[in-house]
Each structure stands twice: as structure tokens, then as C-alpha cells.
Amino acid sequence: MAGALSGFTVDVLFYPIDTIKTRLQSSQGFLAAGGFKGVYRGIGSTALGSAPGASIFFVTYERMKSKISKELPDIFGESGSFGPPGLHMVSASIAEVAACMIRVPTEVVKSRQQTSTYGSKTTTFQAFRTVFKESGIRGYYRGFAGTVGREIPFTCIQFPLYENLKLQMSRSSLFGNDKVSKEGKSQAQLVRELPTWQAGLAGSVAGAIAAGLTTPLDVVKTRIMLHRLPPGVNTKILPTLRHIAKNEGAKALFSGFVPRTLWIGFGGAVFLGTFDAGVKVLDG
């Protein structure tokens, strides 16, 4: 429930920034893709898919953290060879793959509406139906590998950094947490007791850094999802990456860098902060 609330809140709240980012990354160009007009176009698919996608992510992530640390303490325990960072990378990567089963169809429909691929007055249902007519069920998963290829590096940067920032904050005099009793408490307990606004701040910093570094992969993912022709150069990760760099220059790989970084930076505070608050409320 906490994951569903956080996913829905952040996706709807920051949707216009996501639309601008997608249009900047489109091969047809920002203005041809719609410019600043109709920035809420396609929000229906996001509203339907964001809650279950985020819910699956957090349920899987929290479950994997607990199970992997218990099953492989010598590798992923607090004093294991890979330690907490490795645990967070593996858990978040598994969670991202699970969430992409819902996230990718949502993003395919959303990105095509955002760039008016089927016309500026096409409804979410019409776009959903058109994707099926063109490519069948496989059409909804156009860009699945590209999305996973973006999400895993992103999450391997974001979540270890997020979890570490929370841990450092829980011990920091800068945030006044050094005066809180820590006797007999584990790292997980210290992090869980961190004030929600601090968890949100950690999520914002971690999200912005991860978003900026993985922008080229996001550009590739967007191009693949918008591609409507038979399989070719714009349907695979590495060929698409090389094609963009060769024909449009390296600068094109960072199209939408500013809105993506702002969106996920501010969104990270809302997304992870809302999740943290939701868990605390539901836990009583």
C-alpha cells in the first residue's frame, strides 16, 4: 500500500516534466513532438500503471533485502564481503525487473501519447488498442530490455547511495541525530527511525545523481519505445546507442538531462519520502 501510494503520487505530480523530457528525447524533435502543449497527454496510462508497478517494486525490494541477507550473511550481511551496498544493488535490481512487467506497457502507451505518435486527440484506450493492432502483445513490451538496461544501472547507483545517506544521516550531528539513543540498535533500526523529511532528502540526492548518470540509457529506452517499424537499428540497446552517437552526436545522448534530473531529484524526495511515511503510518 505504501509503495502504491508513493508511485501514484510522484508520477501524477511530476508528469508534465516527464512529458517534456520525453519530447526532448524524441527523434522527431521537441516542437514536432508537441513542445509545451498538452503536457498531461497520456496521463491515463500512468495513473493506471504507477500504483501497481511501484507496489510490486517495494514489496519485492523489501522481501529480497530480508531474504538475501538471511540466506547469504557472509556475502550480503552487514560485515559480509559485498555488504549492504551489494545487498541493495541485488535486491533493487530484482525488484526493477519485476516492476517492469507492468511499467513497460504503461510507458509504451504513455510515451506514444506524449509525442502524439497516434495524433494529439488519441485517448489512452485508443493508443492501447493501436499498439496491439500494430504488434500484438509483444508491442506492449517494446523496449523491455532497454528499460531494464536503464533501470538496473540506475537502481544500482540510487539505492545503495540512498540507503547509505540515510544511515549517515541517522548518525549525523548536522541533522541532530547524534543525540538519539543508538544503544543495541541495528543499522536497519536506525534508518527506520530517521525522520521522513530526511529520508526524502536522501532520496532526492540519490535520485538526481543516478538520473543524471543514466540519461544516455534513458534516451535509448525512449527511442526504442517510440519506434514503430519492424525490428532494426532502433529496437536494440547498443545499436541504438551507436546510431544516436554517430548520426546526432554525443550531445543527443544527454537530451532531456535537466528535466530528467529535476524530475527524479524532486520526485525521489516525494517517492521515497512518501513510501517511508506510508510504512511508518501503516506500521502504527
- Is pLDDT of 165 > 80? yes
Q: Which of 137, 278, 142, 161 is nearest to 213 (CA)?
A: 161
Provide the residue type at 226 as one letter.
L
278 and 6 in contact (C-beta within 8 Å)?
yes
2 and 51 in contact (C-beta within 8 Å)?
no
Residue 254 CA to residue 258 CA, distance in Å, equals 9
Whether the CA torsion 146, 147, 150, 155 is positive or negative: it is: negative
Per-residue confidence (pLDDT) for residue 52, from 0 to 100: 93
Average pLDDT, the chain: 88
Burial of 115 (0-12, 13-18, 19+ CB in 10 A): buried
Per-residue confidence (pLDDT) for residue 16, from 0 to 100: 93
pLDDT band at residue 178, thresholds of 50, 70 and 90? low
Q: For residue 148, give every residue at least 6 positions away whose Cβ sits within 8 Å of its Cβ, in sequence order, or none.
A: 96, 97, 100
Of the listed ranges 56-70, 78-92, 174-188, the one predicted with least confidence: 174-188
What are residue 142's phi and psi, to 5 degrees?
Answer: -65, 120
Residue 104 CA to residue 112 CA, distance in Å, equals 12
Residue 131 CA to residue 223 CA, distance in Å, equals 16
pLDDT in tens, 207-260: 999 999 999 999 998 888 887 755 555 567 888 889 899 999 999 999 999 999
Average pLDDT over residues 173-201: 74
Per-residue confidence (pLDDT) for residue 23, from 0 to 100: 92
- Is pLDDT of 63 > 90? yes
Residue 244 CA to residue 258 CA, distance in Å, equals 19
Per-residue confidence (pLDDT) for residue 182, from 0 to 100: 61
Q: Which of 2, 85, 84, 20 is nearest to 261 (CA)?
A: 20
Q: Which of 277, 271, 274, 281 is nearest to 14 (CA)?
A: 271
